[in-house]
A and B are shown apart, each in its own frame.
Chain A
Amino acid sequence: MNTGVEQLQEKVGSILDNYQHDKGSLVSILQDTQSEFGYLVREALVEISTGLEVPLSQVYSVATFFRSFSLKPRGRHLINVCLGTACHVRGAVRILEAIERELGIKSGEADEDLKFSLETVNCVGACALGPIVIIDGKYSGEMKTDKVKPLLDSHD
């Protein structure tokens, strides 16, 4: 039976194979790794570094450069609040603040039970619906502050 470490190595190995161990595909490899494990687990970064023959510092540098990556565990439900300009002019900041108040966390954090993670994104291209909140890939548009609590409560 595979140990946890072996399972991780197998999964990362399979991702690296998909990209033919191509160094240029590092960003895509990290994205697939994050999809697999929920976040960028340190051990996975080490495997990627070995597999691509790229220094771990370089892998770490890329992993921390791009905002879509998280090196910390995320909550079961990922909340993304759009702070693009169109959403901003329609009051997106107030929606973000309402969510922060409701969950007691700031953007970039997860709550204690790892139920929710809160992140912001700069435009998802659905500007007619602003302000937008996306939870687990599902979009809720034309958000108002009083809709925040019912939306969060609808997630287990």
Chain B
Amino acid sequence: MNKLGSPQELERLRESIIRSSEPNRPCIIICGGTGCVALGSGDVINTFKQEMQENGLDSKVDLRVTGCRGFCERGPHVVTHPEGILYQRVKQEDVAEIVSETLLKGNIVDRLLYVDPETGKKIVHESEIPFYARQRRLLLANNAKISPDSIGDYLASGGYAALNKALFEMSPERVIAEVKKSGLRGRGGGGFPAGRKWETCRRAEGDTKYVICNCDEGDPGAFMDRSLMEGNPHSVLEGMIIGAYAIGAHQGYIYVRNEYPLAVIHAELALKQAKEYGFLGENILGSGFDFSVKINRGGGAFVCGESTALMASLEGEVGEPRAKYVHTSEKGLWDKPTNLNNVETWVNVPLIVSRGADWYTKIGTQNSKGTKIFSLVGKVNNTGLVEVPMGMTLREIVFDIGGGIPGGKKFKAVQTGGPSGGCIPESLLDLPVDFDELTKAGSMMGSGGMIVMDEDNCMVDIAKYFISFLEEESCGKCLPCREGLKRMRQILTDISEGRGEEGDIELLECLSTTLVDSALCALGSTAPNPVLTAIRYFRDEYEAHISDKRCPAGVCKELIRFYILPDKCTACGICLRKCPVDAISGAKRMVHVIDQDKCIKCGTCLDVCPERFSAVTKGSSEELDVPAEPIPVTASKSKTKASDKPSTDSEV
């Protein structure tokens, strides 16, 4: 492959790729993103290859493996092209039928179609599924169409046209002006105006400058960047090259989280291809602009998502942040002006350059332009990636797109912004997703993690979880964070274990103020957010733990007990056999009983008790009327319905 030496050569190549492809050529598109691979799409892909070969289809029907298409709850996905039929939850054993029925005969395999839970109807085409129909996919659209290891696919979909335009039709200053005008704010959590940061970096003294792509994505529950880097790595590169041109940087770094092995592989491949084609290296497309990129992997430290800690890690040091009264855009990596942006921020750039800031500003709200990708996870029916225009309400995202709470449970809170964000209760569900609105409510946009919680989640436990996480991840450099988080965790643990005291809530609030005011970096200064919002919106739960030694949600182990209800137990014996500490006594036709002294509250009995009996329950400080010893069964075993399966038989 000869490097492309001019914009004309690029466009000729693009045209030839498009000309040589048949747009309506039959194709089977299978998701190869980490989520679907974890659900077995690797086996599905291999079986398709085999079946298609055996049926003589491999020369007539293409097979394309794409990146994450976002509807992870329903994976593995198989989509037929050009029909656009979506099959969901496809297993290896389903492949033969898809090949024989759909590929060979043009029939639809009904049982693999998505069923709309609201209407009960089966939906054939991907575009009609409410989960997708309500999104506005500008950044994620190509994830469902292109193979991440094919630069040809990226070019055919218009890739690197924005780079062409930037290098040959726009000066660096003009590019910056366009990004400023677009109102693009950082998508990594800070929400700082990207154009302004670029401008500061461009104007900073010195000829050596750097650009960095932050793919550390440490917020647990967030996987937007994983999907973009895995599924469309060239879009990230294109954004970085444009940014480097605008800023005047000739060296870039992509810092990828160690826990994303597939993203690392695809990024490395994209880098190699970009070099071969001349999008990276010297004299890019004959423009005279040089730019190279290196990939570094993280080592599993959340704090390295913070820009100065990330840069320290790139310098071979421990990931300790520093004070930012001197901005990294003036003195960053190796004390040189450095512009760091998040993956999703970079992916917005080619869009803004090619379609213009005027178009971009029409999407979103006054102060939050464009779309945002959220990872909608937790206690929600449709778990996955959701891309919506800024300004859509949380309610629409959780219920209209997310499909609401599974199992008929009640919504309790949605946590946005990761460990730096807060829990938003039902009363605020009509808040729009907007940087400033979420901050006003005590939370923040963050990188896009959106964790839905229901009545079975305890807000003391959630706060304890976040503080424990941050205590472990704290670099230890500054005292407020190092000591403050430790004390907050101790207080929250005491509250969750029945040792809470009057004044604990006030002490947590006081410690929070100290951290907000004096922690060195945002890990410490935003750490109180989950605790403060939990106290603000769920104070009664904290008071129940402290005053009544009760966990209303039934989560905190020291405050709950498991019981077997005598009027429901049919002595099937499953819980007795499965109890890891032999805490359950019983016999045939004798109601089983849990020995509370032996019980370790692992919850196995609740998990394994067949749904049709539902004889195990949790209680907190209530005295339930249960026998102390096994007594004869009174409940009758009903006939097993076809849909009833004890949870021991449940498949992955």
Contacts and interface: CB of A to CB of B under 8 A. Distances in A.
A85 B296 CA distance: 26
Contacts of B415: 85
Contacts of B37: 139
Contacts of B377: 85-86, 127-128, 130
A31 B258 contact: yes
Contact of B38 (A22, A132, A145): A132
Nearest to A137: B261
A123 B225 CA distance: 13
Given A54-B316, A62-B318, A28 B34 contact: no
Name the interface size band of chain B.
35 or more
A104 to B, nearest CB: 12
Interface string A7-48: 000000000000000111111101100000000000000000
Interface stretch (A71-79, A88-96, A110-118): A88-96
Given A124-B34, A127-B221, A128-B75, A89 B379 contact: yes
Interface in B300-356: 300-302, 313-319
Interface in A119-150: 121-130, 132, 137, 139-142, 144-147
Contacts of B652: 140-142, 147
A24 B375 CA distance: 33
A125 B223 contact: yes
B316 A144 contact: no
A139 B469 CA distance: 22
Given A27-B316, A125-B259, A144 B223 contact: no
A98 B580 CA distance: 8
A86 B453 CA distance: 9
A35 to B, nearest CB: 11
Contacts, number: 168
Interface string B214-226: 0001111111001
B315 A24 contact: yes
A91 B456 CA distance: 10
Contacts of A84: 220-221
A15 B652 CA distance: 39
Nearest to A32: B297
A26 B298 CA distance: 11
B465 interface: yes
Contacts of B252: none
A50 interface: no
B602 A97 contact: yes
A102 B578 CA distance: 12
Given A25-B296, A27-B296, A128-B377, A85 B38 contact: no
A86 B221 contact: yes
Given A123-B219, A127-B72, A66 B301 contact: yes
Contacts of B648: 146
Contacts of B227: 125
A126 B261 CA distance: 13
B273 to A, nearest CB: 21
B316 A146 contact: no
Contacts of B100: none
Nearest to A121: B259
B608 A146 contact: yes
A122 B302 contact: yes
Contact of A68 (B73, B258, B319, B418): B258
A132 B221 CA distance: 12
Nearest to B219: A123
A146 to B, nearest CB: 5
Nearest to B320: A65
A69 B299 contact: yes
Nearest to A63: B299
Contact of B650 (A94, A123, A128, A144): A144
B299 A85 contact: no
Contacts of B35: 125-129
Contacts of A141: 38-39, 652
10 contacts: A24-B315, A58-B317, A68-B258, A85-B415, A85-B451, A89-B378, A97-B602, A125-B260, A137-B261, A141-B38
Interface of A: 22-28, 30-31, 52, 54, 58, 61-62, 65-69, 83-91, 94, 97-98, 101-102, 121-130, 132, 137, 139-142, 144-147
* Pairs of residues from A and B, 4 with the lowest C-beta to C-beta distance, nearest first: A66-B299, A84-B220, A128-B72, A125-B223
